[in-house]
Structure 1
């Protein structure tokens, strides 16, 4: 089962550091991420979203491959490549996998000016090591899909020592 944890952090730079930490933990196989993102409020108070999973790019790559194969069948691989990449990009753009975009926008709209929220969707985690890595960022738990008891433990564990 995947678990979603949304952490409130001080600003955009802290959110970017959080994603770097998550990437490092993932490389060490301490955190198996499905998706990650952050949202922050810009100077004009508008929520800005940064997602790590680019469905448009993935769709374009897949569409290009299939388009080339189909193009070869009809003796026009360049046309097949172009049409496949375009249709794949559109399909990827319309696909919502991972963290729900509406949830990201909703939480982003509730943030105070300059603050940010980090979204982590993980399959598994070595919880004590992950908490230890994130604690220096002084995050606040905004939302999770953990059990109430596990969420309370997470909130307690993320408190500065």
Structure 2
């Protein structure tokens, strides 16, 4: 079973930095991600989703391949390529893998313009190692499907990082 974690960061760049860190941790088998999407809210109030994988482009590429292959069988590879690309793109656009887009858009309406929410679908992780890596980035937990104890540990770690970042260098507070 996967867990959903949504953390709000002050900028899209900070959220992207954390996403790239999580992807690097995935290569080290410390975490296994089902999806990682960044949602930002513009000044006009519109929500933009920065998906990890573009299903429309992926569908178009695979559709092109299969369309060209079928086209070769019927001695018209260009028509097969065009039809395959179009049908693959449509199929890819209609496919929603990972976190539901409508859910992300709904939840993202509550963030401030300019902020970014990092939606992460975690399939498996070594929690203490992941927490150690991301706690320095701060952020505020918006929503999780973690149990209350794990959620509180995450909130506390991120809050400590935010409090440390708010202190002036050299202060004794």
Same fold (TM over 0.5): yes
SS in 2 for 1:159: helix
Segments of structure 2 that go 5 or more residues without pairing to the other structure are 162-173
The Cα of 1:121 is off from its aligned counterpart by: 1.0
Q: Tell me which residue corresponds to 1:31.
A: 31
Query: Matches of 2:142 and 2:16 in 1, distance apart?
Result: 17
Query: Matches of 1:131 and 1:11 in 2, distance apart?
Result: 20
Q: Tell me which residue corresponds to 2:85.
A: 85
Deviations 1:82-123 (A, max 9, x none): 110110011100111111101110122111122111011121
What is the Cα-based RMSD across aligned positions, in Å? Answer: 1.5
Aligned residues: 161
TM-score by length of 1: 0.91
Query: Matches of 2:92 and 2:71 in 1, distance apart?
Result: 20
Contact 2:137 2:158 in 1 (8 A): no
Contact 1:36 1:53 in 2 (8 A): no
Q: Tell me which residue corresponds to 1:114.
A: 114
Q: Tell me which residue corresponds to 1:67.
A: 67
Query: Matches of 1:160 and 1:135 in 2, distance apart?
Result: 8
The Cα of 1:28 is off from its aligned counterpart by: 1.7
TM-score by length of 2: 0.86
Q: Tell me which residue corresponds to 1:18.
A: 18
Instruction: Report the structure number with the largest CA radius of gyration.
Output: 2
Query: Matches of 1:128 and 1:149 in 2, distance apart?
Result: 13
Whether 1:45 and 2:26 are equivalent positions in the alignment is no
Contact 1:39 1:108 in 2 (8 A): yes
Contact 1:9 1:116 in 2 (8 A): yes
The Cα of 1:150 is off from its aligned counterpart by: 2.5
Query: Matches of 2:46 and 2:91 in 1, distance apart?
Result: 27
Segments of structure 1 that go 5 or more residues without pairing to the other structure are none
Deviations 1:13-43 (A, max 9, x none): 1111111111211122211112111111223
Q: Tell me which residue corresponds to 2:165.
A: none
Give the 5 Å matches for 1:143-154: 143-154=143-154
